[in-house]
Amino acid sequence: MDDFTQRIPDLLERLTGKIRSITVDPAARVLTILAVILIAGALVTFAVIFLFIGLFRILGELVNDMELAYAIVGGLFLVLGLLLWSKRLAKDIEEKV
């Protein structure tokens, strides 16, 4: 009888350990990775925002006019957008031929 009373708790402990290893451990790993990715994404976003603010202030000091600094950066984005758009159009034309 003593052996039976010891086997049941051992069986239940092994069973709960196996169920936990199948369900909880992978979920905990995924949630940990997700949390790290979210924190890293937020930090990168803040760094990019502060970089752009710093670049605008430096450019504004170089040209002594903030409106001109915004116009310069806007013009650069416009030129970059036009280049990307022309590559897309060229790719669309190649696919149709």
pLDDT at 48 over 80: yes
What does the block give as tokens for 67?
């409106």
pLDDT at 64 over 80: yes
What pLDDT, on a 0 to 100 scale, did the predictor assign at position 1? 57
pLDDT at 58 over 70: yes
Q: What percent of the chain has pLDDT over 70?
A: 97
* Enclosing H/E stretch for 46: helix 2-63
Instruction: Please state the rounded mean pLDDT for residues 61-79.
Output: 91
What pLDDT, on a 0 to 100 scale, did the predictor assign at position 19? 87
Instruction: Please state the rounded mean pLDDT for residues 89-93.
Output: 75
Distance CA 54, CA 61 (A): 11
DSSP annotation of 1 reads -
* Cα 92 from chain centroid (whole Å): 29
